[in-house]
Amino acid sequence: MGFILIAVLLGSAYLCLQLYYVYYWLKKPEVIVPAEFIPSLKITVVVVAHNEEESIESCIEGIVKQHYSQELFEIIVIDDRSSDGTVELIKKMQSPLVRIFQLTDYPEFIHPPAYKKSAIELAISMAQHDWIVLTDADCIPPAEWLRNIAYAQSITDAVFLAAPISYSSGHTMLEKMQEMEMSVLMLITAAGIRSGLHDMANGANMSFSKQAFLDVKGYEGNYQYASGDDMFLIEKMRYAFPDRIAFVKSGNAIVETLPKNDWSSLIKQRLRWAGKNKGLKNPVFRNIWFFIGCYHVSIIIALVSGIYKLSSWWPFFILIIVKWIVDSLIIYYSSNFFRTRLSFLDYFRMHIVYMFYILRIGWNLILGRKGDWY
């Protein structure tokens, strides 16, 4: 009876958390840019590139072709110690919008191991405009990207805007799982910001005021972490400007990137994402992910207990049914926004794989293993 009560309590908490996210996602209005909107926001787009010769041209071309007056934006590319042909490819493009700087030429900006943060600070020091838009060198933005960001900033008066990213449609189960995971993370990001529960952002698609960045002293105090250029900054912005953080909920603002194509690369990336969380001041985000990890562990424990007749099957059935029902709801809403679709068989298999994926990440964190960028 005690195990059943624990399962009911855990299931109820998980249900409430996910319904909370769905509620605030639905409460967040979608950004729809009026046809008559004429942007005036001057923008500096910043791209940090490290050995990105396979994707850098597509990324820069996508930015250059924005439906946005070329008099209102510039592109700054910071080469972060590339050893391939990244720099040469950018120079061959000969776009008047693009300025390229090499991080190694500015040693006063370099703070190992925080090379990306260092590159961003260098770019901001060189920026001619006050509104900074960040994306990654392996991302491709839609043509209305900057126009949507400018409109969102005009109606919110935000100093920091998080915006959605998605993985390109995958064919393997691993790629489909990442695509679905990212769409759910974006829903949680928007709901967390809208409700004020916690703040998340992704450096592949976020923007902010240069002056606000300088006001919070950039990444000072966070140089000991290789990553976290997104999470540390939005947290600082929230403390300094509590009512001026927003999410751009617009399909025309979704930046697309490629998923990882093998488990090893995926786990290392996720370990990097998780590793920076211990440096965040707000404990809510860490506590939520700890709870979600414990919930998945509880499902496995309940399953093993049922198999070996240590308890009845009811705890397992309660936990797994609650998870599948509420996860289906949150996936439904995120899939509608990102226009992703799964067959029932894929959805069933993904739930099984995802539980062990979460446990594997948790186990690696317990063992103290680090992600990529180290």
Tokens at 286, concatenated = 């860490």
Q: In the prediction, which pLDDT does 361 show? A: 80
State pLDDT tens for residues 82-125.
999 999 999 998 899 999 999 999 999 999 999 999 999 999 99
pLDDT tier, 357 (very low <50, low <70, confident <90, very high otherwise): confident
Question: What are the DSSP calls for 18-55, one per residue?
Answer: HHHHHHHHHHSPPP---TT------EEEEEEESS-TTT
3-state secondary structure of 8: helix
CA distance 279 to 264: 24
- pTM (predicted TM-score): 0.92
3-state secondary structure of 190: helix
Nearest to 53 by CA among 75, 99, 84, 81: 84
Q: In the prediction, which pLDDT does 374 show? A: 46
Helical axes 263-275 vs 173-195, angle rounded to 10°: 20
Domains for the chain: give ranges and CATH numbers.
2-24+283-366 (no CATH), 29-262 (3.90.550.10)
282 sits in which H/E element: none
Q: Is the pLDDT of residue 265 over 80?
A: yes
3-state secondary structure of 102: strand
Q: Are 138 and 258 in contact (CB under 8 A)?
A: yes
Q: Are 26 and 56 in contact (CB under 8 A)?
A: no
